[in-house]
């Protein structure tokens, strides 16, 4: 059995609900508070590769003020620029993300993570 981890923000209700759901299922994931311990570009690219999304923006909080302030919605912004923005501003990462081996899911809704556990 592989180690299950969660990119978690304890201030986020969806993140708390997802963690509670996993615990109800008897799963104690490794909790990564990504705002306290930011991920590297390489780590973010690894998570992206495991998610069931096609575009980097799908793993981002596009309604965050920083997203608009940095003009990250512009067509000229590359994927590498988006990853760099998430490294510098971790609050731009959509949360929570549950990772299990080669698979990851965004917990919106929280039950979506059950596909991979």
CB atoms within 10 A of CB 57: 17
Q: Residue 82 to residues 3, 19, 44, 88: CA-CA distances in angstroms?
A: 27, 27, 10, 10
Q: Give the sign of the dihedral formed by CA 82, CA 36, CA 26, CA 108.
A: negative
Nearest CA-CA partner of 50 in 111, 7, 110: 7
DSSP H helices, the chain, are 13-24, 41-50, 65-69, 79-88
Catalytic center residues: 12
């Amino acid at each position: 059995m592989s180690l299950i981890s969660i990119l978690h923000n304890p201030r986020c209700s969806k993140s708390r609900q997802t963690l509670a759901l996993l615990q109800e299922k008897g799963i104690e994931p490794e909790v990564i508070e990504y705002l306290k311990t930011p991920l590297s570009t390489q780590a973010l690219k690894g998570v992206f590769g495991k998610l069931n999304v096609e575009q980097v923006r799908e793993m981002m909080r596009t309604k965050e003020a920083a997203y608009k302030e940095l003009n990250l919605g512009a067509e000229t912004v590359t994927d590498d620029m988006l990853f760099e923005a998430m490294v510098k501003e971790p609050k731009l990462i959509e949360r929570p993300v549950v990772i299990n081996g080669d698979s990851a899911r965004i917990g919106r809704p929280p039950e979506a993570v059950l596909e991979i556990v």
